[in-house]
A and B are shown apart, each in its own frame.
Chain A
Amino acid sequence: MITAWRIFTASWKHFARNAWLAVATIFVFMMALLSVNVLLGVNVVMDRVVTVLEDKVDITVTFKPETPEQVLTQARFYLTTLDQVRTVQLIPADEVLAQFRKRHERDNKVLAALSEIDRNPLGAQIVVKAKSPDDYNFLLQAIQSPQYQTYIQSQTYDDHKAAMTKIREVGEQVRFAGALLVAIFALFGLLTAFNAIRVAIYTHREEIAIMRLVGASSFYIRAPFVLEGVWISLFAFAMAASLYGVALVWAEPVLRPLFDGADPGIIAFFLDHALLIGGLELGAMLFLVVVVSWVAVGRYLRR
């Protein structure tokens, strides 16, 4: 009990009396944590961008103007029952015409041509969004069933096909590169922290040798250094988390316009995964500090 208390107080005294070294080590640890988290944040934003782009893709099926209402309702119902479908929206012919007029309100020739026809030349539309980009091929085939094929005037999926393939490729590449970069930066952070501990212990090498000469056991010498490393890790983690939290609160409104005013989801991601990310980062740092400090002090213990 006495020994545990002495080790505890010695670690704090050591921390306070070597404040500059402790601050420098905390700074290195913070940089390592922030670099990993910033990259993780960038990865989340990129992922969200890809998701938003994917979300913009749909199949718009335009029916012939003479298509009976019953067929349209049936087609909508049929599509709704498919597992691959996320949403189905039926736009009546009148609304399609209204949208067309609005789109061309400054094009007098088009409006004049429309007014010459005494009926609505446009048919109703069904807009289908799939749950996954992989599902669009299946949905396309489903829509073109003989039951509906004769009523379909056009469908826009072919127009989006190339773009969608590209988005999917880019999305996969972004996710892979992001994960790779996070892993590299995590490794880089660990190596930086590893070196910072070794340098900190190196500056105390003579002190370690003296303690040994005076009759201190290996554990009694090592433990305060290890514990001091734990304090440094906790300080660095708390400071990095606070700084990063403030940065996220600032960044989210700045990013919002990129998503047409929608939530970029970066704060939500970190809140949802706080325990996992925080636990992994703090756990890895504490593990590293304990093992490296223990081994590094041992190098100067000699016999």
Chain B
Amino acid sequence: MIHLEHVSKHYPPNIVGLHDVSLKVEPGEFVSIVGQSGAGKTTLAKMLIADERPSQGRIILGGWDITNIRGWEIPQLRRQIGVIFQDYKLLPNKTVFENVSFALEVAGASRSRIREIVPQVLKIVSLDSKAERFPRQMSGGEQQRVVIARALVHRPKMILADEPTGNLDTLNTQDIMDLLLKINAFGTTVVLVTHNREIVNALRRRVITLKDGRIVSDQAHGKYVLTG
């Protein structure tokens, strides 16, 4: 599913974002990428959605070499990945229904398909009764569930969750993690970027630990390794 070959990212003047990172993620895997602030987690996540380009190396996603992806190809790539952010990134002037359907609209889905699928996805995240609300009228946990619905709606092969529980309390964190596990159980690859030790340790899934832009640990059923 994901294949990184000797990927490095340098920022001027001489800051190292990632250094010689190689890894493979198989379809259907649930992988946590952990590390302290500045370890390179977000840089790696940004490269997977072509928000950053590597300085060196190759990135292949689902058989597609996106190392030097062209500008007009980026929307096509992003329609195949569901992205979840810590700060939600919902469109403030669109309702819950419109936010979720937007991901389908940009891919050219028909109106009838949108009317059929969006309510189903909103039901999965238990927001079917709040479809006409605007993001500002919802709690943080609800907003994050809208983001998950949006990420899910076009049935992506991969979900990339960058600190999805960073702004949530324990109860909402558990809800979100349960949803991600449920999505993974249906066969979707999940890449979780986090620095939350409790979450990672509870998952008992593959854990890749980054430190100073390098992979220092890659365990199949790992735990959060303290790298400080």
Contacts and interface: CB of A to CB of B under 8 A. Distances in A.
Interface of A: 2-3, 6, 13-14, 17-18, 206-207, 209-218, 220, 302-303
B93 A214 contact: no
A300 to B, nearest CB: 14
Contacts of A302: 51
Nearest to B80: A215
Nearest to B111: A2
Give the 3 A-B residue pairs with the shortest CB-CB distance, closest first: A215-B78, A215-B79, A216-B106
B139 interface: no
A213 B49 contact: yes
A214 B105 CA distance: 10
B93 A14 contact: yes
Contacts of B72: 217-218
Nearest to A214: B103
B49 A207 contact: no
A211 B74 contact: no
Contact of B75 (A13, A14, A216): A216
Interface in B69-88: 71-72, 74-79, 83
Contacts of A216: 75, 102, 106
Given A213-B83, A214-B78, A214-B102, A18 B93 contact: yes
B91 A211 contact: yes
Interface in B88-121: 89-94, 102-103, 105-108, 110-111
B102 A2 contact: no
For chain B, the bracket of interface size reads 20 to 34
Nearest to A3: B108
B150 interface: yes
Given A211-B106, A212-B75, 15 more contacts: A2-B110, A6-B105, A17-B93, A210-B89, A211-B91, A212-B78, A215-B75, A215-B79, A215-B107, A216-B106, A217-B75, A218-B75, A220-B75, A302-B51, A303-B51
Contacts of A212: 74-75, 78
Contacts of A215: 75-79, 103, 106-107, 154
Nearest to A14: B93
Contacts of A218: 71-72, 75
Contacts of A2: 108, 110-111
Nearest to A16: B93
Interface of B: 49-51, 71-72, 74-79, 83, 89-94, 102-103, 105-108, 110-111, 150, 154
A220 B154 CA distance: 17
A210 B90 contact: yes
Contacts of A206: 89
Contacts of B154: 215
A201 to B, nearest CB: 14
Contacts of B106: 211, 214-217, 220
B101 to A, nearest CB: 10
Given A215-B76, A217-B72, A217-B75, A207 B103 contact: no
A198 B59 CA distance: 36
Nearest to B88: A210
Contacts of A17: 93
Contacts of B50: 303
B160 to A, nearest CB: 11
16 contacts: A2-B108, A13-B94, A18-B93, A206-B89, A210-B89, A210-B91, A213-B49, A213-B51, A214-B150, A215-B103, A215-B154, A216-B75, A217-B106, A218-B71, A218-B75, A303-B51
B85 to A, nearest CB: 8
A217 B91 CA distance: 16
B75 A207 contact: no
A207 B92 CA distance: 8
B144 to A, nearest CB: 15
Nearest to B77: A215
A302 B52 CA distance: 10
A2 B50 CA distance: 28
Contacts of B74: 212, 303
Contacts of A6: 105
A288 to B, nearest CB: 24
